[in-house]
Amino acid sequence: MKRMTAVLAVLLLTAGQISAKIPVIGISGYTDGAGCEAGMTYIKAVRMAGGAPLIIPVTSDDAQIETVLETIDGLVMTGGEDFDPLKWYGEEPRKELGEVVPSRDEFDVKLIRAAVAKGIPVLGICRGEQLMAVAFGGSLWQDIPSQVAGNFVKHRQSPTSSAYGTHSISLEKGSSLSTILATEHTIVNSFHHQAIKDVPDGFRVAARSADGVIEAVERSGEITGTKDGKGWILGVQFHPEALVANGGNKDFLPIFQTLVWEASKK
């Protein structure tokens, strides 16, 4: 009888493992004019964390976005171009502003707002972190070198490889990010000239560079001015996917593992 009970327990456990759903993690795509794509580093990092990556093509169709969000369990908003400052946070464009792609701006804002409304866990990377300010009532420094007083860190490390960290950040004690990375100080890569200036309601700063530039934000409460499903949200200005996938730095894999874990609850 004991043996039969043990065998039954093993069979039930095995069946549960077989039927366990791998979380589908949407990755926001971008267009190069000839197609839609997302960097392989994002795809690799999601796979390494146990998720199934799904690239989401750029679209302005609300119904298509809604259908995609019914399919995915978590979302990664990727890096890329600058946002249109005049449209999204009411500032005239500075001469240092880089390329703006209006169709992607519209897509990213619609996608993240709809995901947050549904409570889908969201990880924003570089532009994806800046998007959290743009989409929910904050603003950006259009150009760190010309606008941020006292800046001295090289925030655009090109041509140095993205697999290598070049500057330090300090994580806020008690922040979700410090818990995830199990540290309050680390070294990151850096490929940006913009950064969050005004943090929107419902978010808090989770990390800064040595010159005070915001390097991460996370949910702190209810996001006002929009429907809020109260899901997990984290934005990082650096590129952990490149450190993980190209650099083999497993210290940053927990960021993606946490996203996949949160997505598994959906």
CATH for 51: 3.40.50.880
Provide the pLDDT for residue 246: 94
* Cβ-contact 41, 255 below 8 angstroms: no
Domain assignment present for 98: yes
The parts of the chain modelled with pLDDT lower than 50 are 1-19
Closest CA to 153 of 235, 85, 214, 79: 214
Placement of tokens 């065998």 in the chain: 7
Domain assignment present for 2: no
Provide the pLDDT for residue 12: 37
Provide the pLDDT for residue 118: 98
Domain assignment present for 171: no
Q: Which of 126, 167, 218, 262 is catalytic?
A: 126
Strand 36-37 versus strand 195-198 pairing type = unpaired
Q: How many domains does the chain have?
A: 1
Q: Return the number of other C-beta atoms located less than 10 Å from residue 10's C-beta.
A: 10
Provide the pLDDT for residue 20: 73
126 is catalytic: yes
Containing domain of residue 92, as a range? 24-142+193-205+216-264
Each residue of 202-223: pLDDT tens digit? 999 999 999 999 999 999 999 9
- How far, in Å, are 82, 119, 171, 207, 219 from residue 175 at the CA level? 27, 20, 7, 9, 10
Domain assignment present for 180: no
Q: Which of 167, 192, 193, 239 is catalytic?
A: 239
Extract the runs of DSSP E, i.e. beta strands, from the chain.
Answer: 24-28, 30-31, 36-37, 52-56, 74-77, 122-125, 139-141, 167-171, 185-188, 195-198, 203-209, 214-219, 233-236
Domain assignment present for 155: no
Domain assignment present for 156: no
Structure letter (DSSP) for residue 159: T
Domain assignment present for 223: yes
Domain assignment present for 182: no
List, in sequence order, every residue forming a beta bridge with 27; answer none if it has no partner: 55, 76
Query: Prior bond to 159 cis, omega within 30?
Result: yes
Give the span between the Cα atoms of 184 and 174, in whole angstroms: 9
Q: Which of 129, 215, 218, 241 is catalytic?
A: 241
Give the span between the Cα atoms of 256 and 177, in whole angstroms: 12
